[in-house]
């Protein structure tokens, strides 16, 4: 799920940037700090959409920089358990499929693809249902439900999905498949 979140922070403006626009410099500093990072409560931070900076800052003895209070709006991606999402299959392995659901990939374990037993054909890079003959390959569009979200460490977000419910599963074939 994509969200817009407002947060407050203190931004350090180095003396070499005093002659430049305060909001522009603050945006650059905050973008470097936040964008691409993973926060347990916010999720993956994709962009800063707005920055408001107090023009009057504070100087700390021994540091020539100024410190300004800033309110910023962040665009974040935080998958929610039980959320239904669509995505493109980016990789097919014996253990399951990896589905791109926006800025990251989710794993659908082979046991969670269908009620049918799935057989992996390495030479084709395809998983196929033993009885239903449903084929999943790279480029296919699928719908799944998020079953688990785990932030294992500050730089690793893992997402697990299932496609074993009515209305979920393969939606369409990608270019060049089937």
Q: Where along the chain do its domains lie?
A: 2-77, 84-172
Tell me the pTM.
0.80
Instruction: In whole angstroms, give the CA distance from residue 93 to residue 99.
Output: 12
The architecture of the domain spanning 84-172 is Beta Barrel (2.40)
CATH topology of domain 2-77: Dna Ligase; domain 1 (3.30.1490)
Phi/psi at 44 (5° precision): -85, 125
Q: Tell me how far the alpha carbon of residue 67 is from its chain's centroid.
A: 31
Mean pLDDT calculated for residue range 99-122 = 94
pLDDT at 176 over 60: no
What is the rounded CA–CA span in Å between residue 138 and residue 177?
8
Specify the 3-state DSSP secondary structure of 63: coil
Band of the pLDDT at 157, cuts 50, 70, 90?
confident
Q: Tokens 């003396």 correspond to what residue?
A: 15
Burial-class residue 67 by CB neighbours within 10 Å (0-12, 13-18, 19+).
middle
Q: What is the model's pLDDT at position 177? A: 44
Q: How confident is the model at residue 178 (pLDDT cuts 50, 70, 90)?
A: very low
Per-residue pLDDT averaged across 151-159, rounded?
77
Distance CA 136, CA 173 (A): 8
């Amino acid at each position: 799920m994509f969200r817009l979140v407002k947060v407050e922070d203190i931004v350090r403006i180095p003396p070499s940037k005093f002659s430049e626009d305060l909001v522009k410099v603050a945006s650059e500093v905050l973008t470097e700090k936040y964008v691409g990072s993973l926060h347990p409560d916010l999720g993956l931070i994709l962009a800063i959409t707005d920055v408001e900076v107090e023009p009057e800052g504070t100087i700390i003895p021994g540091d020539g920089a100024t410190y300004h209070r800033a309110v910023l709006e962040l665009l974040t991606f935080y998958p929610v358990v039980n959320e239904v999402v669509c995505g493109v299959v980016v990789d097919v392995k014996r253990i399951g499929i990896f589905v791109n659901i926006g800025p990251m990939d989710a794993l659908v374990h082979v046991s969670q693809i269908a009620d049918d037993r799935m057989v992996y054909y390495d030479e084709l890079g395809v998983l196929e249902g033993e009885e239903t003959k449903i084929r999943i390959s790279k480029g296919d569009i699928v719908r799944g439900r998020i079953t688990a979200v785990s932030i294992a460490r500050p730089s690793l977000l893992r997402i697990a999905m299932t496609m074993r419910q009515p209305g979920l599963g393969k939606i369409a074939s990608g270019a060049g498949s089937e």
